[in-house]
Amino acid sequence: MAVSMRRALIGAPLATARAAHERLNNWLGLSVFASDNLSSSAYATEAILLVIAVEGSTRLLAAALPITIGIVVLTGVVALSYRQTVQAYPTGGGAYIVARENLGMGWATTAGAALLIDYVLTVAVSVAAGVQAMTSAFTVLQPWAMHLGVAAVLLIALANLRGVRESGLLFAVPTYSFVFGLLLTLGIGIVKVVTHAVPPPPEAVAPMAALGALPFFLVLRAFASGCAALTGIEAISNGVQAFRSPEGRNAAVTMLWMAGLLLTLFTGITVLARAYAITPDVTGGGHGVGETVVSQVAAAVWGGKNIPYLFVQFATMAILIVAANTSFADFPRLSAILARDRWLPRQLANVGDRLVYNNGILVLAGIAIVLLIAMQGNVHALLPLYMVGVFVSFTLSQAGMVRRWLRLRTPGWRQSAIMNGFGSLATGIVLIVVAITKFHPPEAHPIFSFTVDGHPFNLRAGAWLVVALIPLMVAVFYRIHDHYNTVSSQLTLIGFEEPPAPQQTVIVLVPSINRGIVPALRYARAMGHDTRALHIEIDPDDTPRLRDQWEQWSHGIPLLIIESPYRSLIDPLFRYLDEVQTEPNQTVTLVIPEFVPVKWWHKLLHNQSGLLLKIALLFRRGLVVTNVRYHLTR
């Protein structure tokens, strides 16, 4: 039954030979790996406008245009850098591989930890944002927001467990619906602006003048907030091996498509927001809990909240949720690479029935669900944690590429090194600004409250959590790595001399005489000459009957009876094993008879003595524990 249910949910197993057929063409690759990045265009402009409107002035919103242009330039640099990365490192792994090959393992594990954290947060933030858009449209669902978020994570995880091609086909519809709907909206909107069908914005301040009127740190904050547009741009570099051959070339082409679409959508929304005099909703201190900028732009272009407007809104809602799929494509792949390098448990490198990394998918889903429940599905409680991890990986990846160009000095290395150096510096500055401004923001969700001398203190969710978690994860990586190295050093055959054959002693545990004991006695007798039977006497009244039956069924094996006045099985057994295990080159085999009921619930009606004994004996040296099972038929 369990196998049938598993097949129904995730499908029949796929042979390893089908791996090449399960890979993605560029169109499906774009829907799988670009949904996170493309969805950021739905809120990047709004993030800039909110900072200016809340902490500056609505008169200076025109400053969003030059800030957007700056982010567009940075996005182009980062995209070109990652395009070089996927061509130089077609095995995938992104920032981790670049840092490993060029900066050393310390920086590589830092990049790996930062990316894994960012992928978890991407799932939580994307799903929470999508559910928020849904509950805004259907307010009756608001009390169920957290439950809807958990259900969405489970559905996306299930789709990914079915295989990379199936998830790509499933999520292509919302991704391309969003791209089509927004491009059409922007195109019609720009035509209206060019043909003067829209009156010019009533602004008194030109874009550059507005930018100059803003405080420098406020400009940095707006720039850093708008850099949310860059999140997810590294996804393709981590999943190069998911593309069809030639993997590097196809991934690089898809990277350019993604960057081109992002820059078009992001710039177009900012231009139309200015042209249509869109003002961000600053309800709740700038959280944007009211109508979004994309919603206002769509309503202005389409002349109200009609069918085209609703199409754009539903497509936006869908891609915000589907953006989580990018993490489900990349987190398991990066985890597998780290596991193969001995930084994470090896189980994460195991390929499942459908040629995907099942364990990585399940781990990501589990952590994201815990995070959603802890934050009650509140997107604004999650946002302060966002972006730190991805900008750590951006900075390290580009710094690693600079080091690579300086080392290899291939044709055109100077221009490439300058471009990557500029990108590393810019993303590093954004990282610092994000870390400072979101370190412990006063508007963030409180996660722990306490009182000192009557004064309340709230420990709030902020970037400090991620800043603290990255080195903690790196420390865990090194503990895991040290363990695997220690195990390897103890298992290596180098310098190993085979010891003489061990002396074998076989002990059969005999709780009573029945049909299940006889096969165990025959098995033990066949194993060696020094074979003994051991009965631990819990109830002395049963012992005479056992002695009477022993002669008939013993197969010549001597029986030793040990009293247990305190009714314990484990303590008398351990004392006897201490007496038997006296020689260093001696192996003792303990045979535990066990009968197996027909139905699983029958097992609940019997003592689990055999299981408890195996657990108790797990770490005892020089002991082999063998189960001899007798299967009941009814």
pLDDT score recorded for residue 454: 61
Strands 455-460 and 446-452: antiparallel
Domain tally, the chain: 2
Q: Are residues 124 and 268 in the same domain?
A: yes
Q: Are residues 508 and 361 in the same domain?
A: no
pLDDT score recorded for residue 581: 85
Any domain includes 411: no
Examine the pLDDT at 287 and tell me if it is beyond 60. no
Q: Return contacts of 495-501, CB within 8 angstroms, 24+ apart.
A: 499/585, 500/585
Q: Are residues 56 and 201 in the same domain?
A: yes
Any domain includes 426: no
- Structural domain of residue 545, as residue ranges? 503-631
Reading the block at residue 242, the tokens are: 């998911």
Question: What is the side-by-side strand order in the sheet with 586-596?
Answer: 559-563, 531-537, 503-509, 586-596, 623-631
Examine the pLDDT at 516 and tell me if it is beyond 70. yes
Do residues 207 and 66 make contact, with C-beta atoms less than 8 angstroms apart? yes
Residues 6+ apart with CB under 8 A from 252: 83, 86, 87
Any domain includes 612: yes
Q: Give residue 55's pLDDT band: very low, low, confident or very high (50, 70, 90).
A: low
Give the separation between CA 520 and CA 514, rounded to whole angstroms.
11
Predicted confidence (pLDDT) per residue in 585-625, tens digit: 788 999 999 988 888 888 888 788 888 888 888 888 889 99
Instruction: Write the CATH number for 150.
Output: 1.20.1740.10
Examine the pLDDT at 45 and tell me if it is beyond 80. yes
The percent of residues above 90 in pLDDT, for the chain, comes to: 33
Any domain includes 494: no
Confidence (pTM): 0.83
Any domain includes 401: no
Q: Are residues 138 and 286 in the same domain?
A: yes
Q: Give residue 356's pLDDT band: very low, low, confident or very high (50, 70, 90).
A: confident
Instruction: Specify the DSSP class assigned to residue 162.
Output: T
Q: Give residue 101's pLDDT band: very low, low, confident or very high (50, 70, 90).
A: very high
Examine the pLDDT at 548 and tell me if it is beyond 50. yes
Examine the pLDDT at 14 and tell me if it is beyond 90. no
Q: Of 377, 404, 426, which one is at a domain's C-terminal end?
A: 377
Any domain includes 400: no
Mean predicted confidence (pLDDT) in 419-424:
89
Range name among 67-81, 96-110, 284-298, 414-428 with the lowest pLDDT average: 284-298
Predicted confidence (pLDDT) per residue in 392-421, tens digit: 999 999 999 999 999 999 888 898 899 889
Give the separation between CA 193 and CA 201, rounded to whole angstroms.
10
Give the separation between CA 28 and CA 25, rounded to whole angstroms.
6
Q: Of 352, 377, 402, which one is at a domain's C-terminal end?
A: 377
Q: Give residue 360's pLDDT band: very low, low, confident or very high (50, 70, 90).
A: very high
Mean predicted confidence (pLDDT) in 295-321:
89
Q: Give residue 440's pLDDT band: very low, low, confident or very high (50, 70, 90).
A: low
SS (H, E, C) 515-544: CCHHHHHHHHHHHCCCEEEEEEECCHHHHH
Examine the pLDDT at 365 and tell me if it is beyond 90. yes
Mean predicted confidence (pLDDT) in 81-96:
84
Per-residue CA distances from 79 to 258, 409, 413 (Å):
9, 21, 17
Strands 559-563 and 531-537: parallel
Helix or strand (DSSP H, E) at 627: strand 623-631
Q: For the chain, what is the mean pLDDT?
A: 85
Say which residue, 21 or 478, is predicted with more confidence: 478
Any domain includes 435: no
Any domain includes 136: yes
Mean predicted confidence (pLDDT) in 494-512:
85
Instruction: Write the CATH number for 617.
Output: 3.40.50.620
Reading the block at residue 170, the tokens are: 């499933």
SS (H, E, C) 307-331: HHHHHHHHHHHHHHHHCHHHHHHHH
pLDDT score recorded for residue 56: 58
Q: Of 359, 377, 395, which one is at a domain's C-terminal end?
A: 377
Do residues 248 and 97 make contact, with C-beta atoms less than 8 angstroms apart? no
Say which residue, 143 or 21, is predicted with more confidence: 143
pLDDT score recorded for residue 198: 72
pLDDT score recorded for residue 535: 93
Mean predicted confidence (pLDDT) in 38-44:
87
